[in-house]
C-alpha cells in the first residue's frame, strides 16, 4: 500500500494500517531512543510509549507540517529526553550529553552479527568528525539549525550546506 | 525555480530532520506537491536517515504488534480521561444552595405525610408491596441468568478480548469471552448503540494475514435483550473479532465502512 493511503487509514485509527507503520518504523524509533537513553530495556519501553502516543494522537498528524517519519522522530526524541529527565532514570545517573550515535557503532556489544550495522560503521567512520556530530545533533537529537550552529560553533548558513554534504557522502556509500 | 539549486541548498535534509520552522515546512510541502522530483529526493534522504537510525537499534527481539495493542488498550482502561481537578469556588456555592433547598424540601414533605390519612397510607403500602413482590421475582430470574453467564465467562479456559470503537463510532466498545475448549464465545455488547431500524449487528471472526472474515452470525433482538450478552458457537482459529452493522438478516462479507469495534486476540 502507498504510504499516503496507509497514513490516511492510520489517521482514521485503522489498526491494520498502524501495524504496517509499526513494522516499518520500529527499528528507526528504537535506534533514536536508544541513542538518547543508552539502556536496552528503557529504550524498548520508551519506544512502545512512542507508538502509543502516535496512535493516541493519530488524528493530529498533518502532512502539511512534515513527513510522518519526521513526526515520529520528533515524538521519539521528546519521549526519550523526557525519560532521561525523570527521577527513576536519574538514579542510574550517567552522563549522556557527550555521547553521539557513532559511539554505539564503535561499541560492538549489542551490534554483534548485525551485518547492516557493520556496514554502516565502516561508512560512518569515513565521515569527518563535524559530520558525525552534525548528523547526531540534527537527526538523533532534534536540534534546530540555530542550536546546531551554536553547539558546533559554525555559521548558521553553513549548517544547511554542510549537513547536505555529510548526508550525501553517506548516501553515495550506502547506495 | 531552479530545482537542482533548491535540492543543493540542503533544505530538504533539514526538512526530514524536522529542524525547519512551521512556515518553512509548509513551503517545502507545497514544493513537493508541485515537483515530484523533490519528493523522490526527500524519500532518498529519508532512506539514508532510516538506515542510519535503525543501525544503532539494539534489536534482539521486536515486541509484537499485539503487545503494543494490548498496552494501548490497558492504558485506555486505566486512564480513560483526564478530569481537571481545579474546580473553582462557584461550585461550593452551588452545592450549598442545593443542600439548603433539600433541607427545606424535606421539612415540607414531612409535614405533608403527617397530614395524610392513615388508611390511604395503608392502601398505598399494600399496593407497593405487590409491586415489590413482582419486581423480586423478575430480579431473581435475571439474577439466575446473570449467574449462569458469570459462571461461563469466569471459567478458567476463557480468554477475554476487548474490542475497541472504530471510526464510525469511536465511543463504542465490546468484549468477547472465548472458551476455546467448548468452542463457545460470549460477546458483551453493552457498549454499542441500539442499531437503527432495519439494521443488525453482525459478529465476525477474523484471520489477519491475509485478512479473512468468517461470519459468526447476527446479534438479533439487540434492543430487547437486557443483558446485552450473546452466546455463539465459534469453531474458528480466530485471531481477531470485529462487529459491523449490516442490513437485517446479515451479510456474506463485512461492510468495513460500518465496522463498529474490533479487537485482536492475544496469543
Where is pLDDT greater, at A63 or B85?
A63
pLDDT tens per residue, chain B (267 residues)? Answer: 799 999 999 999 999 999 999 999 999 999 999 999 999 999 999 999 999 998 888 866 788 887 787 777 667 656 555 444 444 444 555 556 656 666 666 655 555 555 555 556 666 777 777 777 777 777 777 777 777 778 877 888 889 899 999 888 889 999 999 998 889 999 999 999 999 999 999 999 988 777 788 999 999 888 877 778 888 899 988 999 999 999 998 999 888 889 999 998 876
C-alpha cell recorded at residue B183 = 468452542
pLDDT at A92: 61
Sheet holding B184-188, edge to edge: B212-218, B199-207, B240-247, B259-264, B158-165, B173-179, B184-188, B229-233
Q: A109 falls in which pLDDT band (50, 70, 90)?
A: low
Nearest to B13 among A74, A124, A167 (CB): A167
What share of residues in chain A are helix, strand, coil (percent, to 5)?
80, 0, 20
| A32 vs B: CB within 8 A | yes
Backbone angles phi, psi at B217, to 5 degrees: 105, 170
* Number of Cβ within a 10 Å radius of residue B5: 8
Q: What is the DSSP string of B111-135?
A: HHHHHS-HHHHHHHHHHHHHHHHHH
> Which helix (H) or strand (E) covers residue B207, if one does?
strand B199-207
**What would you report as the CA-atom Rg of chain A, rounded to the nearest whole angstrom?**
17
Residues of chain A with Cβ-Cβ distance to B54 below 8 Å are 27-28, 30-31, 116
pLDDT at B149: 78
User: Chain A, 51-80: which have a CB under 8 Å from a chain B CB?
Assistant: 51-52, 55-56, 63-67, 69-71, 73-74
Residues of chain A with Cβ-Cβ distance to B61 below 8 Å are none
pLDDT at A2: 84
pLDDT at B133: 76
- How far apart are the C-alpha atoms of B58 and A114, rounded to whole Å? 10
How distant, in Å, are the alpha carbons of A85, A87, B45, B103, B239 from that of A141? 15, 21, 17, 63, 39
Average pLDDT over residues A134-139: 95
User: Chain A, 134-153: which have a CB under 8 Å from a chain B CB?
Assistant: 135, 138-140, 142-145, 148
Residues 6+ apart with CB under 8 A from B99: none
- How far apart are the C-alpha atoms of B85 and B34, rounded to whole Å? 49
pLDDT at A160: 94
pLDDT of A165 above 50: yes
Q: Which residues pair with B240 in a beta bridge?
A: B206, B264
Place of cell 538506515: B51
| A160 vs B: CB within 8 A | yes
> Which helix (H) or strand (E) covers residue B108, if one does?
helix B90-115
CA-CA-CA-CA torsion sign (A175, A127, B15, A57): positive
Q: Which residues pair with B262 in a beta bridge?
A: B164, B242
Which of B55, B208, B261 to probe the A interface (max A CBs under 10 A)? B55
pLDDT at A34: 92
- How far apart are the C-alpha atoms of B12 and A81, rounded to whole Å? 25
- Domains of chain A with bracketed CATH: 3-90 (1.10.1740.10), 101-174 (1.10.10.10)
Q: Which residues pair with B163 in a beta bridge?
A: B174
Q: A54 falls in which pLDDT band (50, 70, 90)?
A: very high
- How far apart are the C-alpha atoms of A31 and A10, rounded to whole Å? 23
Q: Which residues pair with B184 in a beta bridge?
A: B179, B233
* Under 8 Å between Cβ of A69 and B50: yes
Residues of chain B with Cβ-Cβ distance to A69 below 8 Å are 16, 46, 49-50
Tell me whether residues A65 and B25 touch, CB distance under 8 A: yes
pLDDT at B142: 76
SS3 category, B36: helix
pLDDT at A96: 63
Where is pLDDT greater, at A56 or B97?
A56
Residues of chain A with Cβ-Cβ distance to B75 below 8 Å are 52
Query: ipTM above 0.90?
Result: yes
Determine what percent of chain A is predicted with pLDDT higher than 70.
Answer: 89
| B262 vs A: CB within 8 A | yes
Residues of chain B with Cβ-Cβ distance to A27 below 8 Å are 53-54, 57, 59, 62
| B64 vs A: CB within 8 A | no
Q: What is the DSSP string of A6-62?
A: HHHHHHTT-HHHHHHHHHHHHHHHHHHHHHHH--HHHHHHHHHHHHHHHHHTGGG--
Least confident of A54-68, A74-88, A115-129: A115-129
Please write down the long-range contacts of B248-255, taking CB distance under 8 Å and 24 or more positions apart.
B248/B198, B248/B199, B248/B200, B249/B200, B249/B218, B250/B200, B250/B202, B250/B215, B250/B217, B250/B218, B251/B202, B251/B215, B252/B215, B253/B213, B254/B202, B254/B204, B254/B213, B254/B215
> Which helix (H) or strand (E) covers residue A82, if one does?
helix A68-85
The CATH T-level fold of domain B158-264 is: Immunoglobulin-like (2.60.40)
Tell me whether residues A67 and B46 touch, CB distance under 8 A: yes
For residue B167, the chain A residue with the least C-alpha distance is: A12
pLDDT at A131: 93
Nearest to B13 among A43, A101, A164 (CB): A164
* Number of Cβ within a 10 Å radius of residue A113: 7
How distant, in Å, are the alpha carbons of A6, A108, A113, A168, B240 from that of B62? 21, 19, 16, 30, 21
Backbone angles phi, psi at B120, to 5 degrees: -60, -45
User: Chain B, 201-220: which have a CB under 8 Å from a chain A CB?
Assistant: 208, 211
For residue A50, the chain B residue with the least C-alpha distance is: B68
How distant is the alpha carbon of residue A92 from its chain centre? 22
pLDDT at B247: 93
- How far apart are the C-alpha atoms of A39 and A19, rounded to whole Å? 25
Q: Where are the domains of chain B?
A: 3-53, 118-154, 158-264
pLDDT at B58: 84
Amino acid at each position: 500500500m502507498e504510504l499516503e493511503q496507509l497514513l490516511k487509514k492510520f489517521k482514521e485509527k485503522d489498526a491494520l494500517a498502524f501495524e504496517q507503520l509499526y513494522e516499518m518504523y520500529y527499528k528507526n524509533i528504537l535506534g533514536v531512543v536508544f541513542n538518547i537513553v543508552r539502556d536496552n530495556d528503557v529504550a524498548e519501553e520508551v519506544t512502545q510509549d512512542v507508538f502509543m502516543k502516535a496512535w493516541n494522537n493519530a488524528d493530529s498528524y498533518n502532512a502539511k507540517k512534515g513527513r510522518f517519519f519526521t513526526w515520529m522522530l520528533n515524538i521519539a526524541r521528546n519521549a526519550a529526553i523526557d525519560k532521561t529527565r525523570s527521577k527513576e532514570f536519574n538514579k542510574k545517573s550517567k552522563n549522556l550529553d557527550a555521547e553521539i550515535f557513532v559511539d554505539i557503532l564503535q561499541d560492538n556489544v549489542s551490534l554483534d552479527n548485525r551485518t547492516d550495522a557493520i556496514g554502516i560503521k565502516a561508512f560512518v567512520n569515513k565521515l569527518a568528525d563535524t559530520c558525525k556530530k552534525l548528523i547526531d545533533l540534527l537527526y538523533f537529537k532534534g536540534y534546530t539549525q540555530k542550536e546546531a550552529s551554536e553547539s558546533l560553533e559554525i555559521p548558521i548558513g553553513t549548517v544547511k550546506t554542510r549537513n547536505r554534504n555529510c548526508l550525501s557522502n553517506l548516501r553515495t556509500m550506502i547506495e | 525555480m531552479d530545482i537542482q539549486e533548491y535540492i543543493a541548498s540542503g533544505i530538504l535534509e533539514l526538512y526530514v530532520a524536522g529542524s525547519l520552522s512551521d512556515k518553512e515546512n509548509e513551503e517545502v510541502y507545497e514544493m513537493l506537491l508541485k515537483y515530484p522530483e523533490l519528493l523522490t529526493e526527500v524519500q532518498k534522504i529519508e532512506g539514508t536517515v532510516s538506515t542510519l537510525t535503525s543501525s544503532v537499534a539494539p534489536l534482539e527481539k521486536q515486541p509484537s504488534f499485539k503487545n503494543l495493542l494490548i498496552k494501548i488498550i490497558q492504558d485506555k482502561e486505566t486512564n480513560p480521561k483526564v478530569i481537571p481537578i481545579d474546580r473553582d469556588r462557584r461550585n461550593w456555592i452551588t452545592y450549598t444552595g442545593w443542600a439548603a433547598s433539600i433541607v427545606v424540601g424535606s421539612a415540607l414533605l414531612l409535614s405533608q405525610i403527617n397530614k395524610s390519612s392513615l388508611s390511604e397510607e395503608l392502601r398505598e403500602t399494600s399496593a407497593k408491596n405487590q409491586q415489590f413482590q413482582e419486581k423480586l421475582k423478575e430480579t431473581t430470574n435475571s439474577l439466575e441468568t446473570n449467574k449462569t453467564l458469570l459462571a461461563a465467562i469466569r471459567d478458567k479456559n476463557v480468554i477475554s478480548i476487548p474490542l475497541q470503537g472504530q471510526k464510525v463510532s469511536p465511543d463504542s466498545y465490546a468484549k468477547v469471552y472465548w472458551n476455546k475448549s467448548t468452542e463457545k464465545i460470549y460477546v458483551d455488547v453493552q457498549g454499542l448503540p441500539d442499531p437503527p431500524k432495519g439494521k443488525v449487528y453482525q459478529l465476525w471472526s477474523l484471520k489477519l494475514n491475509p485478512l479473512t472474515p468468517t461470519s459468526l452470525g447476527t446479534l438479533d433482538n439487540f434492543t430487547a435483550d437486557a443483558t446485552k450478552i450473546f452466546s455463539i458457537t465459534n469453531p474458528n482459529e480466530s485471531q481477531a473479532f470485529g462487529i459491523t452493522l449490516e442490513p437485517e438478516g446479515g451479510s456474506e462479507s463485512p461492510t468495513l465502512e460500518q465496522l463498529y469495534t474490533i479487537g485482536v486476540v492475544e496469543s
